[in-house]
Structures are given as structure tokens and as C-alpha cells.
Amino acid sequence: MSTIAEVSETTGFSREGVEAISRARLETGATRDARLRAWELYESLPMPQRTDEEWRRTDIRGLKLDRLRSDTRADAPGIEPLAALQEAGVENAADQIALGPNAGVVVQRDAATILATLDPEVAAQGVIFTDLPTAAREHPELVERYFMTQAVPPTLGKFEALHAAYWQGGSFLYVPKGVKVEAPFRSFGLLSEAGATIFSHTLAVIEEGAEAFVAEAYRSPSLEAQSFASAVVELIVASDAKLRYVQVQDWGRNVWNFMTERAILADDALLNSLHVTLGSRFSKSSIASHLRGKNALAEMLGIYFADGDQFFDHHTWQLHESPYATSDLEFKGALKGHARSVYSGLIKVEEGAQKTDAYQQNRNLILSRTARADSIPNLEIGANDVRCTHGATISQVEEEHLFYLQARGIPRPEAQNLIVEGFFRPVIDRIPVEEIQDFLKTAIARKVGI
């Protein structure tokens, strides 16, 4: 039998690696079998090709899966959460992990959980919030019911199948019927070793009439060797439930990031989501809201800022399956240097989903002559009594706008920052959380070069 140390030095992905992860986490029965089935599915599926519509503008030939290293450690003794966050460059790390304003905190470094807390008053209401491996052991009936069975099945694609076989970290949130929690549940995913992989999975189940706020951040320093991050987010929002979900991706420059998110909304459910993409060398995000209930509402916001040679690809789906539902999407991006972005969005209205109200907007601001943005909005309408609109713009900063500000004594970098912040402001203003607004303003200034 391979030891954990031996497995951690093995490169590439294999069935033996899947079995080693399962042994290290003492998995048996359904969980272990699901991993092995996912691995068989992964082997049977072809790698995405440039001839596939979703990958037509996305080149993954630079990804070297056979050189990556997986880790089987279930915990990380001796590693302090505060030190790990500071090492990854998280600002005000002590405040971030303090329990005070938070309902719960999960911190994971590479494949290991180094902190999992939950406010006792929140726990007394029946709320479960912990790292996903712990939840799988202590609440198997809940995890097995929802984990990659409804929102993101392994059959969704090659990388989803790999994730289902190799998942190791992530968080699990369960809010019982009628329970409302205002303070955020925070989760941090940290990557510390060059050439390593991280498979983080978020599963949030918000029962009927419940309310919750989940804030996640992915962070790492810029490492020398290519690294790999795989994230899957499953959001189950029951009837009359409300969920606010925020994700900030700020990986180091040699990370290749693949993220799939699917939300399922029942009758009268409300989802407010925000995705912030700042880091990684390559990032491909697939984000969808399935509006399966009447009067459901999904607000989908996104901000991305690419510089250098970064490549960001966002695909979004607003899937209307029931009548009287509303979706409102606004993604905005800025690019500088030789960066490139791809946005493709689809509003799909199923037959019978009458009175659908769907809006989709993607706007891009180009800050250099060598940056490029592609935007492809799409509509697929199967009902005849709907209101569906979409729009896309790509434009450069007007020199006369910069001149106007510079003529009033504002240095050019600060003038550019004012213009970029003003460009993002309509999205920022839609986020009723002052802490997140302040973070975005600081991140934008850092990207501009202030």
C-alpha cells in the first residue's frame, strides 16, 4: 500500500491516486464508490477541443496535467490559520478569521483543513457549517443527497468528472427551514506549493424560508511551477429561501483555474451572487442559475480585471424552466497589458416558462492596445410571452477623458483609476456590503497600478 508521503510525490492523475485519497480519509461505501465511478467517467471522456463551442476561444494546450502533484493529507498539524492566510497575502488576516462578525469560518491550505468554526448560537438553531470531508463523515445522509447529484453531476464535463474523483477540500453549509442567519459564513482556500493541485467543493443547502450569506476567497502567492485549481460550487435554494453568495478568486500567476457553479432555485427563491476574478494565469468559469420554481429571482453579478498575459473565460447560463421567474445578469471587465477575456452568456427559456423576465449585460473596458475582449451574448427562447434582453460592449478609455482629469492636476495613473472605478461602480453599488465594496475599490486600484 502506498503511503501518504509516497502518493504526495506522484505526478499526474490516476486510479491509484483516487484510491489513496479515499484511504487517507478513511472513506468506505458510497463515497468511495462515487469517486471510482467518477474516475472511470473521466477516463472515458475526451479532453475539450477547440471545435467545441464552449471551448472555441479557449486554448488549454499549455495545461500539463501529467506534471501536477496531488496531496492526500486530511489535516495539517502545526499550521496556524493566521500564518497561512498571511502567507497567502490575505490583508487583515486576523480580522478575517475572527469569529466576531462571522457565523462560521473554514480555512483550508492545499488539501488540508486547518480551521473550522461555527458560532454556538447559530449551531443551536440546527445550522451545519464545516469542511466538506467532515460533513461527509458526520452527516452522510445530507451530503450524499446533494453532492454532485442535482446541481453539478460528474457527467457535466471532463473537468467536473476529475473533480468528483479527486475532491478533497471545501465547505458544507446546511441551514434548516425558517432559520435566518445575517452574519456571513466565510471560507478560504489557500494554495502554497508550486506544482500542486487543490480541489475545493462548496455545497450550500438553504431550506424553505431560510436565509444565509456565504463569502469565499481563493488565494495563493505567485509560484514558480504551474499549479492547478478545481472548484465546484453547488447552491440549493429551496422555496422562499434567500442566499447571498460572493466568490473572490485571486490565485497566483501560475495557477490554472477551473470553476463550475450551478444554483437551483425553487418557488419564490432568491439568489444574489457576485464573482470577482482577479488572479491566476488562466481561469475558466462556468456559472449557471436554474430557475426551476415560479417567481424565483437570480441576480448574477461579475467583476473581472485581467493584466499581463492573463486569460479569463466566463460562460454564464440563465436557465428559465418555470413561469414568472426573473434573472438579472451584469458582468463587467477591464483589461490591460496583453490580457484577454472571453465572455459567453445564454438566456434559455424553456417551453411553458411564460412571463419570464431576463436581462443580460456584459461590458468591457480596454486599457491597452494589446488587450482583447470577446463577448458573445445569446438567447434561446421557447415561450411566446417573455421579456428577454441582452447587450455587450467593448471600448477603450477615451484619451480626452484622461486629459480632462490630468488638466485638473490628477496624475495619469490616478485618473485612469478614477475612470476604471467609475466603470465598475454600477456593479459595486449593487452589493449592499460595505466590506466587499471597500475590497473591490482597493483591488481595482492595485490592478490599475496605484
What strand order describes the sheet that includes 326-335?
Answer: 112-118, 104-109, 185-190, 211-219, 242-250, 270-277, 297-306, 326-335, 357-366, 387-396
Distances (CA, A) of 209 to 2, 122, 171, 205, 402: 48, 16, 22, 12, 49
Side chain identity, residue 21? I
Place of cell 471551448: 55
Distances (CA, A) of 68 to 22, 63, 245, 282, 351: 19, 10, 30, 15, 45
Distances (CA, A) of 87 to 18, 90, 113, 193, 222: 29, 8, 16, 12, 11
The structural domains of the chain, with segments of one domain joined by +, span 4-293, 398-450
Place of cell 488540508: 112
What is d(CA 306, CA 284) in angstroms, rounded to the nearest whole number?
13
Determine if residue 92 is left, alpha or beta; phi over 0 gives left, psi from -120 to 50 gives alpha, anything else beta: left
What is d(CA 94, CA 83) in angstroms, rounded to the nearest whole number?
9
Helix axes 399-406, 412-428, angle to 10 degrees: 110
Bridge partners of residue 329, in order along the sequence: 300, 360
Q: Are 362 and 392 in contact (CB under 8 A)?
A: yes
What is d(CA 10, CA 395) in angstroms, rounded to the nearest whole number?
46
Q: Are 320 and 379 in contact (CB under 8 A)?
A: no
Bridge partners of residue 219, in order along the sequence: 190, 250
- Phi and psi at 244, nearest 5°, equal -105, 125
The count of other CB atoms within 10 Å of the CB of residue 374 is 15
- Among 346, 351, 349, which Cα is nearest to 362's? 346
Give the per-residue pLDDT at 91: 60
- Among 230, 237, 213, which Cα is nearest to 151's? 237
Give the three cell numbers for residue 400: 480626452
Distance of CA 296 to the CA centre of its chain: 22
Helix (H, G, I), strand (E, B) or coil at 23: helix
Return per-residue pLDDT of the chain as tens, 450 residues.
Answer: 333 333 444 578 999 999 999 888 888 788 899 999 999 999 999 999 988 989 999 999 999 998 888 776 655 555 666 666 666 556 665 555 444 579 999 999 887 888 899 999 999 999 999 999 999 999 999 999 999 999 999 999 999 999 999 999 899 999 999 999 999 999 999 998 888 899 999 999 999 999 999 999 999 988 788 999 999 999 999 999 999 999 999 999 999 999 999 999 999 999 999 999 999 999 999 999 999 999 999 999 999 999 999 999 999 999 999 999 999 999 999 999 999 999 999 999 999 999 999 999 999 999 999 999 999 999 999 999 999 999 999 999 888 888 888 898 898 888 988 999 999 999 999 988 888 888 899 999 999 886
Give the per-residue pLDDT at 48: 93
Give the per-residue pLDDT at 75: 56
- Among 195, 248, 201, which Cα is nearest to 225's? 195
First to last CA, the chain: 54
What is d(CA 31, CA 16) in angstroms, rounded to the nearest whole number?
16
How big is the CA angle at 275 (ends 273 and 276), to the nearest 5 degrees? 145
Pairing of the two strands 242-250 and 270-277: parallel
pTM value is 0.92
- Phi and psi at 220, nearest 5°, equal -160, 155
